[in-house]
Amino acid sequence: MVKTIDLQLVRHIGKLSRIELSDEQVQTFGPQLAAILDFFGKLQELDTSNVEPMAHAVEIHNVLADDVTRPSLPPDQALANAPQRDGDFFKVPKVIGDSQ
């Protein structure tokens, strides 16, 4: 693991991230990135040999409601606030193809 974060490395990380960094930002982010790496170093010191691998840190349950069939809105009610309509359809400006 990298022990020091120099300005060249910060610029390289910015380039990989496709972020244009000013000189001031490079100066600011260097120590911040070094502190982040220090935190990861502390995590690596932990004994995780008895920890079971998991996909999530907390148990997750499906929170979606069951699908329930219901009658649809009648076209007149569904299109009541439409600025323009063509029969039972919303009428919108053409967005694909020729603009004429």
Per-residue pLDDT of the chain (100 residues; tens, 9 = 90+): 556 789 999 999 999 999 999 999 999 999 999 999 999 989 889 998 998 888 888 887 777 888 899 999 999 999 999 999 999 999 998 888 765 5
Distance CA 85, CA 92 (A): 8
Predicted confidence at residue 77, as pLDDT, reads: 94
CA-to-CA dists, residue 33 to 12, 46, 54, 57, 90, angstroms: 13, 21, 27, 24, 52
Q: Tell which CATH architecture fits domain 7-44.
A: Orthogonal Bundle (1.10)
